[in-house]
Protein backbone atom coordinates (compact mmCIF):
# COMPACT_ATOMS: atom_id res chain seq x y z
CA UNK A 1 0.00 0.00 0.00
CA UNK A 2 2.93 2.34 0.65
CA UNK A 3 3.92 2.03 -3.03
CA UNK A 4 0.41 2.96 -4.10
CA UNK A 5 0.39 5.95 -1.73
CA UNK A 6 3.63 7.20 -3.25
CA UNK A 7 2.19 6.73 -6.72
CA UNK A 8 -0.97 8.67 -5.80
CA UNK A 9 1.16 11.53 -4.44
CA UNK A 10 3.20 11.43 -7.63
CA UNK A 11 0.08 11.61 -9.73
CA UNK A 12 -0.88 14.92 -8.11
CA UNK A 13 2.43 16.33 -9.29
CA UNK A 14 2.10 14.82 -12.75
CA UNK A 15 -1.41 16.18 -13.14
CA UNK A 16 -0.22 19.64 -12.15
CA UNK A 17 2.48 19.37 -14.82
CA UNK A 18 -0.11 18.28 -17.37
CA UNK A 19 -2.36 21.20 -16.55
CA UNK A 20 0.60 23.57 -16.92
CA UNK A 21 0.91 22.75 -20.62
CA UNK A 22 -1.12 25.43 -22.41
CA UNK A 23 -3.95 24.40 -24.69
CA UNK A 24 -5.04 26.29 -27.81
CA UNK A 25 -7.77 28.14 -25.87
CA UNK A 26 -5.18 29.29 -23.35
CA UNK A 27 -2.70 30.28 -26.06
CA UNK A 28 -5.13 32.30 -28.20
CA UNK A 29 -7.68 34.00 -25.89
CA UNK A 30 -10.38 35.77 -27.86
CA UNK A 31 -9.18 34.47 -31.19
CA UNK A 32 -9.90 30.87 -30.17
CA UNK A 33 -13.52 31.62 -29.26
CA UNK A 34 -14.05 33.69 -32.41
CA UNK A 35 -12.69 30.98 -34.71
CA UNK A 36 -14.56 28.12 -33.05
CA UNK A 37 -17.91 29.84 -32.54
CA UNK A 38 -17.66 31.54 -35.93
CA UNK A 39 -17.22 28.14 -37.62
CA UNK A 40 -14.22 29.29 -39.62
CA UNK A 41 -13.63 25.56 -40.07
CA UNK A 42 -16.52 23.12 -40.33
CA UNK A 43 -14.85 20.84 -37.78
CA UNK A 44 -13.78 22.49 -34.49
CA UNK A 45 -10.94 19.97 -34.25
CA UNK A 46 -9.21 21.58 -37.23
CA UNK A 47 -8.16 24.75 -35.42
CA UNK A 48 -6.89 23.04 -32.26
CA UNK A 49 -4.65 20.83 -34.42
CA UNK A 50 -3.20 23.69 -36.49
CA UNK A 51 0.40 24.80 -35.99
CA UNK A 52 1.08 28.54 -35.62
CA UNK A 53 3.51 30.24 -38.00
CA UNK A 54 4.40 32.89 -35.39
CA UNK A 55 4.35 33.07 -31.59
CA UNK A 56 0.89 32.94 -29.99
CA UNK A 57 1.50 36.35 -28.38
CA UNK A 58 2.24 37.90 -31.81
CA UNK A 59 -0.84 36.29 -33.37
CA UNK A 60 -3.15 37.44 -30.56
CA UNK A 61 -1.71 40.97 -30.73
CA UNK A 62 -2.29 41.07 -34.49
CA UNK A 63 -5.83 39.85 -34.00
CA UNK A 64 -6.65 42.49 -31.39
CA UNK A 65 -5.20 45.18 -33.64
CA UNK A 66 -7.02 44.12 -36.80
CA UNK A 67 -10.33 42.55 -35.81
CA UNK A 68 -12.29 45.82 -35.72
CA UNK A 69 -10.88 47.18 -38.96
CA UNK A 70 -13.23 47.46 -41.93
CA UNK A 71 -13.21 44.38 -44.12
CA UNK A 72 -11.48 42.16 -41.55
CA UNK A 73 -11.80 38.50 -42.62
CA UNK A 74 -11.32 36.11 -39.72
CA UNK A 75 -10.89 33.09 -41.97
CA UNK A 76 -8.23 34.73 -44.11
CA UNK A 77 -6.46 36.04 -41.00
CA UNK A 78 -6.37 32.57 -39.41
CA UNK A 79 -5.26 30.70 -42.51
CA UNK A 80 -2.39 33.16 -43.00
CA UNK A 81 -1.03 32.53 -39.51
CA UNK A 82 -1.52 28.79 -39.04
CA UNK A 83 -0.63 25.67 -40.98
CA UNK A 84 -3.60 23.45 -41.70
CA UNK A 85 -3.36 19.84 -40.47
CA UNK A 86 -3.18 17.11 -43.09
CA UNK A 87 -4.99 13.76 -42.92
CA UNK A 88 -3.11 11.21 -45.03
CA UNK A 89 -6.21 9.07 -45.46
CA UNK A 90 -8.00 11.98 -47.13
CA UNK A 91 -5.69 11.74 -50.14
CA UNK A 92 -4.81 8.03 -50.03
CA UNK A 93 -6.59 5.89 -52.60
CA UNK A 94 -6.62 2.12 -52.32
CA UNK A 95 -6.11 -0.31 -55.15
CA UNK A 96 -9.35 -2.25 -54.66
CA UNK A 97 -8.34 -4.78 -57.32
CA UNK A 98 -5.35 -5.82 -55.16
CA UNK A 99 -7.75 -7.07 -52.50
CA UNK A 100 -8.62 -6.43 -48.87
CA UNK A 101 -5.49 -7.91 -47.31
CA UNK A 102 -3.24 -5.81 -49.54
CA UNK A 103 -5.25 -2.74 -48.50
CA UNK A 104 -4.77 -3.57 -44.83
CA UNK A 105 -1.07 -4.11 -45.30
CA UNK A 106 -0.73 -0.73 -47.01
CA UNK A 107 -2.75 1.08 -44.36
CA UNK A 108 -0.29 0.22 -41.60
CA UNK A 109 2.23 2.40 -43.45
CA UNK A 110 -0.28 5.15 -44.23
CA UNK A 111 -1.34 5.44 -40.58
CA UNK A 112 2.12 5.12 -39.04
CA UNK A 113 3.74 8.20 -37.50
CA UNK A 114 7.46 8.37 -36.83
CA UNK A 115 8.24 10.96 -34.18
CA UNK A 116 10.33 13.87 -35.43
CA UNK A 117 13.22 15.14 -33.36
CA UNK A 118 10.82 17.67 -31.86
CA UNK A 119 7.17 18.60 -32.21
CA UNK A 120 6.61 22.06 -33.69
CA UNK A 121 6.66 24.76 -31.04
CA UNK A 122 3.20 25.64 -29.71
CA UNK A 123 1.64 22.64 -31.42
CA UNK A 124 -1.08 20.92 -29.39
CA UNK A 125 0.55 17.58 -30.24
CA UNK A 126 2.33 15.91 -27.31
CA UNK A 127 5.60 14.25 -28.41
CA UNK A 128 6.02 10.49 -28.13
CA UNK A 129 9.39 8.73 -28.24
CA UNK A 130 8.53 5.79 -30.49
CA UNK A 131 6.58 5.20 -33.75
CA UNK A 132 2.82 4.76 -33.45
CA UNK A 133 -0.36 4.41 -35.50
CA UNK A 134 -3.19 6.92 -35.66
CA UNK A 135 -6.80 5.92 -36.40
CA UNK A 136 -7.05 7.98 -39.60
CA UNK A 137 -9.07 10.87 -41.00
CA UNK A 138 -9.48 13.73 -38.52
CA UNK A 139 -7.84 11.61 -35.82
CA UNK A 140 -4.23 12.65 -36.40
CA UNK A 141 -2.86 11.51 -33.02
CA UNK A 142 -2.68 8.28 -31.08
CA UNK A 143 -5.88 7.35 -29.19
CA UNK A 144 -5.81 5.22 -26.09
CA UNK A 145 -8.48 2.55 -26.41
CA UNK A 146 -8.44 2.57 -30.22
CA UNK A 147 -4.81 1.47 -30.08
CA UNK A 148 -5.43 -1.90 -28.46
CA UNK A 149 -7.63 -3.04 -31.34
CA UNK A 150 -5.17 -1.62 -33.86
CA UNK A 151 -2.45 -3.62 -32.08
CA UNK A 152 -4.46 -6.81 -32.56
CA UNK A 153 -4.00 -6.23 -36.26
CA UNK A 154 -0.31 -5.43 -35.88
CA UNK A 155 0.21 -8.79 -34.23
CA UNK A 156 -1.65 -10.54 -37.03
CA UNK A 157 0.41 -8.59 -39.58
CA UNK A 158 3.65 -9.75 -37.91
CA UNK A 159 4.81 -6.28 -36.90
CA UNK A 160 6.26 -6.94 -33.43
CA UNK A 161 8.51 -3.87 -33.39
CA UNK A 162 5.55 -1.51 -33.82
CA UNK A 163 3.59 -3.50 -31.24
CA UNK A 164 6.42 -2.97 -28.75
CA UNK A 165 6.92 0.70 -29.59
CA UNK A 166 3.23 1.53 -29.06
CA UNK A 167 3.26 -0.21 -25.68
CA UNK A 168 6.40 1.75 -24.80
CA UNK A 169 4.68 4.99 -25.77
CA UNK A 170 1.81 4.34 -23.40
CA UNK A 171 4.24 3.48 -20.62
CA UNK A 172 6.01 6.77 -21.39
CA UNK A 173 2.72 8.67 -21.06
CA UNK A 174 2.07 7.01 -17.70
CA UNK A 175 5.52 8.04 -16.51
CA UNK A 176 5.26 11.58 -17.90
CA UNK A 177 1.69 12.42 -16.89
CA UNK A 178 0.66 9.77 -14.36
CA UNK A 179 -2.08 8.54 -16.69
CA UNK A 180 -2.72 7.83 -20.36
CA UNK A 181 -4.54 10.79 -21.92
CA UNK A 182 -7.48 10.34 -24.30
CA UNK A 183 -4.96 11.19 -27.05
CA UNK A 184 -1.56 12.83 -27.28
CA UNK A 185 -2.85 16.40 -27.47
CA UNK A 186 -2.68 19.15 -24.83
CA UNK A 187 -6.46 19.52 -24.91
CA UNK A 188 -6.84 15.85 -23.86
CA UNK A 189 -4.78 16.19 -20.67
CA UNK A 190 -7.84 16.32 -18.40
CA UNK A 191 -9.08 12.78 -19.03
CA UNK A 192 -8.12 9.24 -19.94
CA UNK A 193 -10.09 6.60 -21.88
CA UNK A 194 -11.10 2.95 -21.34
CA UNK A 195 -7.97 1.45 -19.67
CA UNK A 196 -6.72 -1.13 -22.15
CA UNK A 197 -3.03 -0.82 -21.23
CA UNK A 198 -3.05 -4.10 -19.27
CA UNK A 199 -4.43 -5.90 -22.33
CA UNK A 200 -1.71 -4.33 -24.49
CA UNK A 201 0.87 -5.71 -22.06
CA UNK A 202 -0.83 -9.12 -22.17
CA UNK A 203 -0.79 -9.01 -25.98
CA UNK A 204 2.93 -8.28 -26.00
CA UNK A 205 3.55 -10.98 -23.37
CA UNK A 206 1.94 -13.55 -25.67
CA UNK A 207 4.67 -12.67 -28.18
CA UNK A 208 7.66 -12.18 -25.88
CA UNK A 209 6.92 -14.07 -22.64
CA UNK A 210 6.31 -13.07 -19.03
CA UNK A 211 9.38 -10.85 -18.84
CA UNK A 212 7.09 -8.26 -20.43
CA UNK A 213 4.99 -8.23 -17.24
CA UNK A 214 8.00 -7.27 -15.16
CA UNK A 215 9.07 -4.62 -17.66
CA UNK A 216 5.76 -2.79 -17.55
CA UNK A 217 4.83 -3.41 -13.92
CA UNK A 218 5.70 0.17 -12.81
CA UNK A 219 3.49 1.57 -15.56
CA UNK A 220 0.65 -0.81 -14.65
CA UNK A 221 0.88 0.37 -11.04
CA UNK A 222 0.70 4.00 -12.16
CA UNK A 223 -2.40 3.27 -14.20
CA UNK A 224 -4.05 1.64 -11.21
CA UNK A 225 -3.09 4.51 -8.88
CA UNK A 226 -4.65 7.00 -11.29
CA UNK A 227 -7.99 5.22 -11.34
CA UNK A 228 -8.08 4.56 -7.59
CA UNK A 229 -6.82 7.94 -6.31
CA UNK A 230 -8.86 9.01 -3.27
CA UNK A 231 -10.39 5.59 -2.64
CA UNK A 232 -9.12 5.14 0.93
CA UNK A 233 -10.98 8.17 2.30
CA UNK A 234 -14.37 7.32 0.78
CA UNK A 235 -17.38 6.45 2.91
CA UNK A 236 -19.98 3.98 1.59
CA UNK A 237 -22.15 5.63 -1.03
CA UNK A 238 -19.61 8.40 -1.74
CA UNK A 239 -17.58 9.13 -4.85
CA UNK A 240 -14.52 11.18 -5.74
CA UNK A 241 -13.09 11.70 -9.20
CA UNK A 242 -12.86 8.24 -10.85
CA UNK A 243 -13.65 6.01 -7.86
CA UNK A 244 -16.85 5.22 -5.94
CA UNK A 245 -17.53 3.25 -2.80
CA UNK A 246 -20.73 1.26 -3.13
CA UNK A 247 -23.32 0.90 -0.32
CA UNK A 248 -21.78 -2.41 0.74
CA UNK A 249 -18.31 -0.86 0.98
CA UNK A 250 -17.01 -2.25 -2.34
CA UNK A 251 -14.88 -0.07 -4.61
CA UNK A 252 -15.72 0.41 -8.28
CA UNK A 253 -14.95 3.13 -10.81
CA UNK A 254 -16.56 5.66 -13.11
CA UNK A 255 -15.50 7.96 -15.94
CA UNK A 256 -14.39 11.49 -15.05
CA UNK A 257 -12.77 14.58 -16.52
CA UNK A 258 -11.11 17.18 -14.31
CA UNK A 259 -12.39 20.11 -16.39
CA UNK A 260 -15.79 21.81 -16.30
CA UNK A 261 -15.20 23.83 -19.48
CA UNK A 262 -16.40 23.12 -23.04
CA UNK A 263 -14.19 20.66 -24.93
CA UNK A 264 -11.79 22.65 -27.08
CA UNK A 265 -12.04 20.18 -29.98
CA UNK A 266 -15.87 20.47 -29.93
CA UNK A 267 -16.20 23.94 -28.47
CA UNK A 268 -19.10 25.22 -30.55
CA UNK A 269 -21.11 22.03 -30.01
CA UNK A 270 -20.67 22.16 -26.23
CA UNK A 271 -21.49 25.86 -25.96
CA UNK A 272 -24.64 25.28 -28.00
CA UNK A 273 -25.65 22.35 -25.79
CA UNK A 274 -25.27 24.50 -22.67
CA UNK A 275 -27.55 27.32 -23.80
CA UNK A 276 -30.41 27.53 -21.32
CA UNK A 277 -28.96 24.75 -19.15
CA UNK A 278 -29.33 25.30 -15.42
CA UNK A 279 -25.77 24.16 -14.65
CA UNK A 280 -23.40 24.47 -17.63
CA UNK A 281 -20.34 23.38 -15.62
CA UNK A 282 -22.07 20.13 -14.63
CA UNK A 283 -23.17 19.57 -18.23
CA UNK A 284 -19.62 20.09 -19.51
CA UNK A 285 -18.20 17.66 -16.96
CA UNK A 286 -20.67 14.96 -17.93
CA UNK A 287 -20.07 15.54 -21.65
CA UNK A 288 -16.34 15.26 -21.03
CA UNK A 289 -16.79 12.12 -18.92
CA UNK A 290 -18.73 10.55 -21.78
CA UNK A 291 -15.83 11.47 -24.09
CA UNK A 292 -13.53 9.70 -21.62
CA UNK A 293 -15.69 6.58 -21.99
CA UNK A 294 -15.16 6.54 -25.76
CA UNK A 295 -18.96 6.37 -26.17
CA UNK A 296 -19.48 9.98 -27.22
CA UNK A 297 -22.39 10.04 -27.37
CA UNK A 298 -25.08 7.50 -26.50
CA UNK A 299 -28.43 7.38 -24.72
CA UNK A 300 -26.55 5.06 -22.37
CA UNK A 301 -25.44 8.23 -20.55
CA UNK A 302 -28.67 10.23 -20.85
CA UNK A 303 -31.44 10.82 -18.34
CA UNK A 304 -35.15 10.12 -18.92
CA UNK A 305 -35.38 12.97 -21.44
CA UNK A 306 -33.05 11.05 -23.74
CA UNK A 307 -31.20 14.19 -24.84
CA UNK A 308 -27.64 15.44 -24.56
CA UNK A 309 -28.83 18.12 -22.15
CA UNK A 310 -29.86 15.32 -19.76
CA UNK A 311 -26.44 13.63 -19.78
CA UNK A 312 -25.40 12.17 -16.41
CA UNK A 313 -22.30 10.09 -17.09
CA UNK A 314 -20.72 10.62 -13.67
CA UNK A 315 -23.81 9.19 -11.93
CA UNK A 316 -23.24 5.79 -13.53
CA UNK A 317 -20.75 3.04 -12.68
CA UNK A 318 -19.89 1.60 -16.13
CA UNK A 319 -19.81 -2.17 -16.35
CA UNK A 320 -17.19 -2.19 -19.14
CA UNK A 321 -14.79 0.13 -17.30
CA UNK A 322 -14.82 -2.10 -14.24
CA UNK A 323 -14.18 -5.23 -16.30
CA UNK A 324 -11.10 -3.51 -17.71
CA UNK A 325 -9.87 -2.57 -14.24
CA UNK A 326 -10.48 -6.15 -13.17
CA UNK A 327 -8.07 -7.37 -15.83
CA UNK A 328 -5.57 -4.71 -14.71
CA UNK A 329 -5.67 -6.16 -11.19
CA UNK A 330 -5.34 -9.69 -12.55
CA UNK A 331 -2.40 -8.63 -14.71
CA UNK A 332 -0.62 -7.16 -11.69
CA UNK A 333 -1.24 -10.41 -9.77
CA UNK A 334 0.28 -12.30 -12.68
CA UNK A 335 3.26 -9.91 -12.78
CA UNK A 336 4.05 -10.55 -9.11
CA UNK A 337 3.65 -14.28 -9.63
CA UNK A 338 6.19 -14.09 -12.46
CA UNK A 339 8.58 -12.42 -10.01
CA UNK A 340 7.99 -15.15 -7.42
CA UNK A 341 6.31 -12.76 -4.97
CA UNK A 342 3.31 -14.87 -3.90
CA UNK A 343 2.15 -12.56 -1.09
CA UNK A 344 1.92 -9.55 -3.40
CA UNK A 345 0.26 -11.71 -6.06
CA UNK A 346 -2.39 -12.81 -3.54
CA UNK A 347 -3.04 -9.18 -2.58
CA UNK A 348 -3.78 -8.23 -6.17
CA UNK A 349 -5.80 -11.35 -6.85
CA UNK A 350 -7.93 -10.52 -3.80
CA UNK A 351 -8.60 -7.06 -5.24
CA UNK A 352 -9.64 -8.69 -8.50
CA UNK A 353 -11.89 -11.19 -6.71
CA UNK A 354 -13.62 -8.38 -4.81
CA UNK A 355 -14.15 -6.37 -7.97
CA UNK A 356 -15.59 -9.35 -9.82
CA UNK A 357 -18.04 -9.99 -6.99
CA UNK A 358 -19.01 -6.31 -6.95
CA UNK A 359 -19.63 -6.24 -10.71
CA UNK A 360 -21.91 -9.25 -10.35
CA UNK A 361 -23.71 -7.75 -7.38
CA UNK A 362 -24.28 -4.24 -8.71
CA UNK A 363 -24.31 -4.52 -12.51
CA UNK A 364 -26.29 -7.69 -13.14
CA UNK A 365 -29.86 -6.70 -14.01
CA UNK A 366 -31.86 -9.82 -13.27
CA UNK A 367 -35.06 -8.44 -14.75
CA UNK A 368 -33.40 -7.56 -18.05
CA UNK A 369 -31.15 -10.62 -18.07
CA UNK A 370 -28.26 -8.31 -18.87
CA UNK A 371 -25.20 -6.61 -17.42
CA UNK A 372 -25.86 -2.86 -17.26
CA UNK A 373 -24.23 0.15 -15.65
CA UNK A 374 -25.01 0.78 -11.97
CA UNK A 375 -27.09 3.90 -11.29
CA UNK A 376 -25.64 5.59 -8.20
CA UNK A 377 -28.56 7.92 -7.28
CA UNK A 378 -31.16 5.21 -7.93
CA UNK A 379 -29.01 2.54 -6.20
CA UNK A 380 -29.88 -0.11 -8.77
CA UNK A 381 -28.71 -1.39 -12.17
CA UNK A 382 -29.62 0.95 -15.02
CA UNK A 383 -32.51 -0.08 -17.22
CA UNK A 384 -30.93 0.52 -20.63
CA UNK A 385 -29.27 -2.46 -22.30
CA UNK A 386 -26.17 -1.72 -24.37
CA UNK A 387 -23.41 -3.72 -25.98
CA UNK A 388 -21.23 -2.88 -22.97
CA UNK A 389 -23.07 -5.84 -21.47
CA UNK A 390 -20.75 -8.23 -23.34
CA UNK A 391 -17.68 -7.18 -21.34
CA UNK A 392 -18.50 -9.48 -18.39
CA UNK A 393 -18.49 -12.37 -20.87
CA UNK A 394 -15.24 -11.31 -22.52
CA UNK A 395 -13.52 -11.00 -19.12
CA UNK A 396 -15.05 -14.05 -17.45
CA UNK A 397 -17.17 -12.20 -14.88
CA UNK A 398 -20.55 -13.67 -15.87
CA UNK A 399 -21.82 -16.98 -14.57
CA UNK A 400 -22.69 -19.56 -17.26
CA UNK A 401 -26.39 -18.92 -16.60
CA UNK A 402 -25.94 -15.17 -16.99
CA UNK A 403 -23.92 -15.64 -20.18
CA UNK A 404 -26.71 -17.80 -21.60
CA UNK A 405 -29.25 -15.03 -21.00
CA UNK A 406 -26.98 -12.37 -22.51
CA UNK A 407 -26.42 -14.58 -25.57
CA UNK A 408 -30.16 -15.00 -26.00
CA UNK A 409 -30.64 -11.23 -25.76
CA UNK A 410 -27.90 -10.59 -28.31
CA UNK A 411 -29.47 -12.99 -30.78
CA UNK A 412 -33.03 -11.75 -30.27
CA UNK A 413 -32.48 -7.99 -30.08
CA UNK A 414 -28.99 -6.86 -31.07
CA UNK A 415 -28.06 -9.11 -34.01
CA UNK A 416 -28.71 -7.46 -37.38
CA UNK A 417 -27.69 -8.15 -40.98
CA UNK A 418 -24.25 -6.59 -40.53
CA UNK A 419 -23.45 -7.47 -36.93
CA UNK A 420 -24.46 -6.20 -33.49
CA UNK A 421 -26.03 -2.78 -32.95
CA UNK A 422 -24.60 -0.76 -30.07
CA UNK A 423 -27.89 -0.03 -28.28
CA UNK A 424 -31.56 -0.57 -29.05
CA UNK A 425 -32.24 3.19 -29.26
CA UNK A 426 -32.25 5.04 -32.59
CA UNK A 427 -31.45 8.48 -31.17
CA UNK A 428 -29.24 10.01 -33.86
CA UNK A 429 -26.23 9.67 -31.56
CA UNK A 430 -23.36 7.72 -33.09
CA UNK A 431 -23.08 5.20 -30.23
CA UNK A 432 -26.71 4.12 -30.64
CA UNK A 433 -28.65 2.13 -33.23
CA UNK A 434 -28.25 1.54 -36.11
CA UNK A 435 -24.49 1.93 -35.72
CA UNK A 436 -21.90 -0.71 -34.89
CA UNK A 437 -18.24 -0.49 -33.95
CA UNK A 438 -15.39 -2.96 -34.44
CA UNK A 439 -14.18 -3.16 -30.81
CA UNK A 440 -17.61 -4.13 -29.53
CA UNK A 441 -18.03 -6.80 -32.22
CA UNK A 442 -14.65 -8.26 -31.24
CA UNK A 443 -15.43 -8.34 -27.51
CA UNK A 444 -18.85 -9.86 -28.11
CA UNK A 445 -17.32 -12.58 -30.27
CA UNK A 446 -14.63 -13.28 -27.67
CA UNK A 447 -17.13 -13.35 -24.82
CA UNK A 448 -19.54 -15.68 -26.56
CA UNK A 449 -16.74 -18.06 -27.53
CA UNK A 450 -15.48 -18.05 -23.93
CA UNK A 451 -18.85 -19.37 -22.76
CA UNK A 452 -19.21 -21.87 -25.63
CA UNK A 453 -21.83 -19.92 -27.60
CA UNK A 454 -19.75 -20.54 -30.70
CA UNK A 455 -22.50 -20.59 -33.34
CA UNK A 456 -23.62 -17.07 -32.39
CA UNK A 457 -20.01 -15.87 -32.19
CA UNK A 458 -19.36 -17.23 -35.69
CA UNK A 459 -22.53 -15.62 -37.04
CA UNK A 460 -21.54 -12.19 -35.74
CA UNK A 461 -18.01 -12.55 -37.13
CA UNK A 462 -19.28 -13.68 -40.52
CA UNK A 463 -21.77 -10.83 -40.85
CA UNK A 464 -19.27 -8.19 -39.75
CA UNK A 465 -16.55 -9.40 -42.12
CA UNK A 466 -19.05 -9.62 -44.97
CA UNK A 467 -20.21 -6.02 -44.39
CA UNK A 468 -16.66 -4.65 -44.08
CA UNK A 469 -15.63 -6.48 -47.24
CA UNK A 470 -18.62 -5.32 -49.29
CA UNK A 471 -18.15 -1.66 -48.31
CA UNK A 472 -14.44 -1.89 -49.14
CA UNK A 473 -15.18 -3.31 -52.60
CA UNK A 474 -17.69 -0.52 -53.24
CA UNK A 475 -15.69 2.40 -51.84
CA UNK A 476 -12.06 1.34 -51.38
CA UNK A 477 -12.35 2.27 -47.71
CA UNK A 478 -12.60 0.75 -44.25
CA UNK A 479 -14.69 2.94 -41.99
CA UNK A 480 -14.80 4.04 -38.37
CA UNK A 481 -18.31 2.64 -37.86
CA UNK A 482 -21.02 0.89 -39.88
CA UNK A 483 -24.78 0.82 -40.16
CA UNK A 484 -25.58 -2.84 -39.47
CA UNK A 485 -29.35 -2.48 -39.54
CA UNK A 486 -29.65 -1.15 -43.09
CA UNK A 487 -26.34 -2.17 -44.60
CA UNK A 488 -26.96 -0.25 -47.81
CA UNK A 489 -26.77 3.04 -45.89
CA UNK A 490 -23.73 4.60 -44.21
CA UNK A 491 -23.47 5.04 -40.46
CA UNK A 492 -24.39 8.49 -39.20
CA UNK A 493 -24.63 10.63 -36.10
CA UNK A 494 -21.83 12.25 -34.20
CA UNK A 495 -20.18 15.65 -34.37
CA UNK A 496 -18.19 15.00 -37.56
CA UNK A 497 -18.53 13.19 -40.91
CA UNK A 498 -17.94 9.46 -41.20
CA UNK A 499 -14.17 8.82 -41.08
CA UNK A 500 -12.14 6.32 -43.02
CA UNK A 501 -8.78 4.82 -42.18
CA UNK A 502 -9.53 3.27 -39.74
CA UNK A 503 -7.28 1.85 -37.06
CA UNK A 504 -9.52 -0.33 -34.95
CA UNK A 505 -11.61 -1.52 -37.88
CA UNK A 506 -8.42 -2.65 -39.62
CA UNK A 507 -7.12 -4.50 -36.57
CA UNK A 508 -10.34 -6.34 -35.75
CA UNK A 509 -11.01 -7.21 -39.39
CA UNK A 510 -7.57 -8.73 -39.91
CA UNK A 511 -7.93 -10.72 -36.69
CA UNK A 512 -11.30 -12.08 -37.80
CA UNK A 513 -10.06 -12.87 -41.30
CA UNK A 514 -7.28 -14.95 -39.74
CA UNK A 515 -9.20 -16.62 -36.93
CA UNK A 516 -12.95 -16.60 -37.53
CA UNK A 517 -13.00 -18.67 -40.69
CA UNK A 518 -15.41 -21.43 -39.69
CA UNK A 519 -18.50 -21.73 -41.91
CA UNK A 520 -21.59 -20.31 -40.29
CA UNK A 521 -24.12 -22.96 -39.35
CA UNK A 522 -27.74 -21.96 -39.84
Which of 168, 480, 500, 516 is the catalytic position?
A: 480
Query: In the prediction, which pLDDT does 239 show?
Result: 97
The alpha carbon torsion through 299, 292, 188, 136 (nearest 10 deg) reads -70
Under the banding of pLDDT at 50, 70 and 90, the label for residue 519 is: very low
pTM, rounded to two decimals:
0.94
Instruction: Specify the number of domains making up the chain.
Output: 2
Does residue 377 lie in a domain region?
A: no
Report DSSP letters for 26-95, one per residue: HHSTTHHHHHHHTTSSSSHHHHHH-EESS-HHHHHHHHHHHTTSTT--HHHHHHHHEEPP--HHHH----
For residue 33, what is the domain's CATH number? 1.50.10.10
367: CB partners within 8 A, 6+ apart: none
pLDDT at 191: 98
Would you state the pLDDT for residue 86?
A: 78
Last residue of a domain, one of 186, 211, 228: 228
- The answer to whether position 506 is within a domain reads yes
- Residue 1: the pLDDT is 47
Mean pLDDT calculated for residue range 147-159: 97
DSSP 215-283: HTHHHHHHHHHHHHTTGGGPPTT-EETTEEE-TTS-EEE----S--S--GGGHHHHHHHHTT-S-HHHH
Kindly state whether residue 311 falls inside one of the protein's structural domains: no
Is 96 part of any domain? Answer: yes
Residue 301 resides in a domain: no
- Find the catalytic residue in 223, 257, 296, 458: 296
Where among 190, 206, 228 does a domain terminate? 228
Query: Is 480 a residue of the active site?
Result: yes
pLDDT over threshold 80, residue 14: no
- Domain endpoint, select from 173, 208, 228: 228
pLDDT at residue 396 greater than cutoff 90: yes
Over residues 98-123, the mean pLDDT reads 89
Q: Is residue 403 part of a domain?
A: yes
Question: Could you list the residue range(s) of the whole structural domain that residue 438 is in?
Answer: 384-522
Q: DSSP label at 294?
A: T
pLDDT at 51: 96
Quick one: CA dihedral 167, 478, 301, 312, positive or negative? positive
**Cis bond upstream, residue 297 (ω within 30):** yes
The question of whether 296 is a catalytic residue gets the answer yes
For residue 116, pLDDT over 80 is answered with: no
Give the per-residue pLDDT at 120: 86
The Cα 103–Cα 111 span in angstroms is 12
58-63 average pLDDT score: 98
| pLDDT of 9 strictly over 50 | no
**Greater model confidence, 252 or 1:** 252
Mean residue pLDDT across the chain = 94
Q: Encode pLDDT of 486-513 as tens digits.
A: 999 999 998 999 999 999 999 999 999 9
Given a cut of 80, whether residue 18 has pLDDT beyond it is no
Does any domain span residue 507? yes
Amino acid sequence: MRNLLLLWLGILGWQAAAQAQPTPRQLYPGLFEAVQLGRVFADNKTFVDMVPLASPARIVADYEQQRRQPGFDLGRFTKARFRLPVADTATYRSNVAAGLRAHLDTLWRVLERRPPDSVARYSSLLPLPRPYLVPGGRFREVYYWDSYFTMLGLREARRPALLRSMTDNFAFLLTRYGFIPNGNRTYYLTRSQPPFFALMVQLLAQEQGDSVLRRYQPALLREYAYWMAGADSLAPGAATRRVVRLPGGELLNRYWDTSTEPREESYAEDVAAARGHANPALLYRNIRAAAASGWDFSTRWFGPAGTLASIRTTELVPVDLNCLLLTLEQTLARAYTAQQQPAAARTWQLKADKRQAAIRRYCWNETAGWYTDYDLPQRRPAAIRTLAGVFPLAFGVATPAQAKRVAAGLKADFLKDGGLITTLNASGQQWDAPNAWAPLQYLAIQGLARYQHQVLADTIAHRWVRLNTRVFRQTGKLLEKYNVQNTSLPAGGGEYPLQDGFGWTNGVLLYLLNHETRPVRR
